[in-house]
Amino acid sequence: MHNWLEFPARVRYVYHLQVKENKMQETLLPQPVELAQIILQSGPAEVRERVHYIGAVDGQSVLVTHPARGNQLIVLARGDQLTVKLVSRRSLVSFHSSVSRVCSSPFPYLHLSWPRHVTRTPLRKHPRINTNIAGTAELNGRAAPVRVCNLSLDGARLDALSEAKPGDRLMLSFALPGDGRPPLKLAAAVRNAAGRDESKQLGVEFIDVSPEVRGALAEFLLIQTE
């Protein structure tokens, strides 16, 4: 058994932060975090930006990466007010905060003030919204146009692709409206089918979704359901 005071001061400090971060995660933010978003007030309009949640020191500060557009950091200063939204384990955690410190090393990140009040809203197990998104689906090496008529974190309903049947595997590609990023690419399995020919609809389940794609879906669904 080592005496705590035998460890270097820096090691004791890092351990102290880790212990406090674990407490914060238990009380405020269960893991894993699928989406972290900050909302800034820019003139009369709100500006939403995705960030990465880094951690927290319980009762003192929340740490997130500095938001950027492309390679350009968004200008933020100490005292700027913002709203933080976090999606984790089928719940939405939101709170008001302010920028306590802007840091540049070892990478750009922010210290945000500890929230006085946190709102936790349960999300439906499979939140699904109606959409009208054009995309493509590849089946057996052949790509065909499809339309995503509703969407959730776990799957979608597609129009067309009349030759598909339950059990088939597809590769979907579609761009989220207003996202501005390249089209998402998702592997999916056909779970059910209804109708025939041009009126056929497919219920598909996404398979092995990457954290980046899941985060983009979560952000889109969050905006649409507010």
Q: Which domains does the chain have, with CATH numbers?
A: 4-122 (2.30.110.10), 128-225 (2.40.10.220)
C-alpha–C-alpha distance, residues 59 and 13, integer Å: 16
C-alpha–C-alpha distance, residues 34 and 26, integer Å: 16
pLDDT band, very low/low/confident/very high, at 125 (cuts 50, 70, 90): low
The structure's pTM equals 0.59
pLDDT band, very low/low/confident/very high, at 17 (cuts 50, 70, 90): very low
C-alpha neighbours within 13 Å on the C-beta side of residue 55: 10
Start-to-end Cα distance in the chain: 52
Torsion from C-alpha of 105, 46, 182, 221, nearest 10 degrees: 110
The more confident residue out of 99 and 181 is 99
Rounded to an integer, the average pLDDT of 192-202 is 76
**Long-range contacts of 211-217, Cβ-Cβ distance < 8 Å, separation of 24 or more:** 211/34, 213/184, 213/185, 213/186, 214/34, 214/153, 215/34, 215/35, 215/50, 216/176, 216/179, 216/181, 216/184, 217/151, 217/153, 217/176, 217/184
Task: Report the chain's mean pLDDT, rounded to a whole number.
Answer: 79
With a cut of 60, say whether residue 10 has pLDDT above it: no
Of 34-48, 73-87, 96-110, give the lowest mean pLDDT range: 34-48
